[in-house]
Chain A
Amino acid sequence: MLSPESSATLLIAVTAFIYKEARLQDEHQYEAWEALWTDDGVYWMPANGDDIDPEKEMSIIYDNRSRIALRVKQLLTGKHFTQTPQSRLRHFVSNIELMDQEAGGDIAVASNSLVFESSLRDDTIWAARNEYRLRYVDGELRMAYKKVTLVNNDKALYTLSFLI
């Protein structure tokens, strides 16, 4: 349900949510990040374009809620070698906008992000458009959907094993 807040107040709330998500990702707080998801969350990173059909074509990530949990569990083992040692990360988020809302539906938000990653291999910059559907659950904002569209998702990409 949409909260009764005005659009300006809502924008402040979703901005705080998105900044918090970015901080949890940067600091590898996997369980706290997972707790941001609703029970029906979908985490999607398409490949080869912005609008492929993930039910028919390969995506870089296309996780339902149980696969999000599995992704987090693997990171928590400490033996996911691509993140052992962990990448050093900083997300830079901008262009946060409330998008067209459906009455009674989830809150649609979009942002742009740059992520600077420093890993054993090298330093890598990732640029993305992020589309969220957020929802109030017990008074707290939660993610029901996050689509991360890398600008260069049609190219050959290095390993991307952190939470983006």
Chain B
Amino acid sequence: MNVMASVSQWDQLIGPDRVHGSLYTDPAIFEAELRNIWYRTWVYVGHESEVANANDYVIKSIGPQSVIMTRDEQGKINLLLNRCSHRGNQVCSFQKGNARSFTCPFHSWTFANDGRLVGYAFPDGYEGQDKSKLALGRVARVESYRGFVFGSFAAEGASLKEHLGGAAETIDRLVSASPEGEVEVTAGFLKHRVNANWKFILENECDGYHPAFVHTSIFNVADSAIGTLYGGKSTALTRDYGNGHTEIDLRPEFRKRDAPMSWFGTSTERLSDYASRMNAAYGESRARQIMIDGTPHVMIFPNLFIAEIQMFVIQPLAVDDSVQHVTALQFKGAPDLNRRLRQQTMGSVGPAGFLLADDSEMYERCHRGVLARNPEWVFLGRGERREGRDADGFKVGHVTDEVPSRGIWRHYRSLMEAK
């Protein structure tokens, strides 16, 4: 199939309540996604705290491409492609560090950490050559929102703020769990690989239907209260913010409990240092509300998943090969909370995590499953007839409804149809 031929082909593959199995398995569609999604729209790359000091750098990615996120001497953040402008060799082979420049080991071309070519070996062979035209490639647009750095390869288009739209508020909510209003990404990443298409991961992040089943083994033995959040009687919501961003809003359940830090399975007594810092920062009434509501569960399209206590970055490598990069969220000024966040995260996620090992098993089984083409469709109609709108006009449904998947595919289709 020529996936680029016409708009109507996407119409045939994506319906209001179903999508075609080939969308997960067709290598030509994956190539089209790289062009129309990963190399065009805003993609999450890294966090400012990962390059806290001048000349810090860290290796990140956009899809399969290696990206060097640097903070240059002026303090500006750059997203540079890890590819020498001479013969294509990777100029940086270390995961992170502090460097004013990167020297390609192949022919000793040297680039400043803002991407400028500053020198090459035996320069007399390049007489008359304009160095400014031989800089490292860069992600055309770089913008941050509350420390979260996004990049877009499109030189023009919607701003990051426009792209985030209503979902920006979830990031505001997230950082408000810090007494200093800042998240830090300092605990290092686990990298969990699955032989599955990236969209199985994307859709699962705000799928509130699966936890009662996929995670029954850990809920049963860990004395966890999470299970009831995703039960048939739960008052929690799924939400579609548009632009592919989706949320599971657990606040209705936490507000019923009316107990600060219950969202994290603990209490302010056990986190007294955190609670007192929150009270000092926000006043007792606002601090209490923040500590009741908890942090968001939101999937920022296409690759940043904030899962209350940890964040995942989804990286597609091939149509059937994806990596989940995951780390504990750390809140500035909250050392006692942060220690627990790390401990909980290590237990839950990554290759040996109590939760994510089972999620990842589902991704891989789904990928192998949809290779069978009868039925041809993945059915996403749960709760379609009981969708509602919240006060801001965003689509909402029961926590177990497939509002998020439908929202993701609606946006996906608009991106894939775009010229």
A contact set with B: CB distance below 8 Å: 45, 47-48, 52, 55-63, 67, 70-71, 73-74, 77-82, 120-122, 154-161
Contacts and interface: CB of A to CB of B under 8 A. Distances in A.
Nearest to A46: B188
Interface in B213-246: 214, 216-218, 220-222
B362 interface: yes
B323 interface: yes
B54 interface: no
A56 B346 CA distance: 11
Contacts of B360: 82, 159
B367 to A, nearest CB: 10
Interface in B308-362: 323, 326-328, 339, 342-343, 345-347, 350-352, 354, 356-358, 360-362
Q: Is the interface of A mostly helix, strand, loop or mixed?
A: loop
B251 interface: no
Contact of B192 (A52, A77, A157): A157
A58 B365 contact: no
A77 B354 contact: no
B63 to A, nearest CB: 14
The interface centre, meaning the residue of B214, B323, B361 with most chain A CB atoms within 10 A of its CB, is B361
Interface in B180-237: 186-195, 214, 216-218, 220-222
Nearest to B347: A67
A82 B363 CA distance: 11
Contacts of A121: 195, 364
B65 to A, nearest CB: 15
Nearest to A155: B191
Given A57-B188, A77-B220, 4 more contacts: A45-B352, A74-B221, A81-B217, A157-B192
A157 B194 CA distance: 8
A61 B327 CA distance: 13
A159 B361 contact: yes
A120 B354 contact: no
Contacts of B347: 63, 67, 70
23 contacts: A47-B188, A47-B190, A55-B342, A56-B187, A58-B326, A60-B352, A61-B352, A63-B347, A67-B347, A73-B221, A74-B221, A77-B216, A79-B216, A79-B217, A80-B217, A81-B358, A81-B361, A120-B365, A157-B191, A157-B193, A158-B192, A158-B194, A159-B360
Contacts of B364: 120-121
B95 interface: yes
Contacts of A79: 216-217, 220
A70 B354 contact: yes
A5 B270 CA distance: 47
B373 to A, nearest CB: 20
Given A158-B194, A159-B360, A77 B352 contact: no
A63 B343 CA distance: 9
The interface centre, meaning the residue of A56, A57, A58, A154 with most chain B CB atoms within 10 A of its CB, is A58
Given A71-B354, A80-B358, A154-B95, A60 B190 contact: yes
A156 B195 contact: no
A16 B346 CA distance: 31
A73 B221 CA distance: 6
B327 A58 contact: yes
The interface centre, meaning the residue of A45, A59, A156, A161 with most chain B CB atoms within 10 A of its CB, is A156
Contacts of A56: 186-187, 342
A63 B220 CA distance: 19
The interface centre, meaning the residue of B194, B217, B218, B354 with most chain A CB atoms within 10 A of its CB, is B217
Nearest to B321: A156
Given A82-B361, A121-B364, A158-B193, A48 B346 contact: no
Interface string B95-107: 1000000000000
Contacts of B352: 45, 60-61, 159-161
A73 B220 CA distance: 9
B187 A82 contact: no
Given A45-B352, A157-B351, A58 B188 contact: yes
Contacts of A80: 217-218, 357-358
Nearest to A160: B351
A82 B221 contact: no
Contacts of B218: 74, 80
A58 B221 contact: no
B357 to A, nearest CB: 4
Interface string B129-158: 000000000000000000000000000000
Given A56-B187, A60-B190, A82-B357, A158 B346 contact: no
Nearest to B362: A81
Contacts of A159: 192, 194, 351-352, 356-357, 360-361
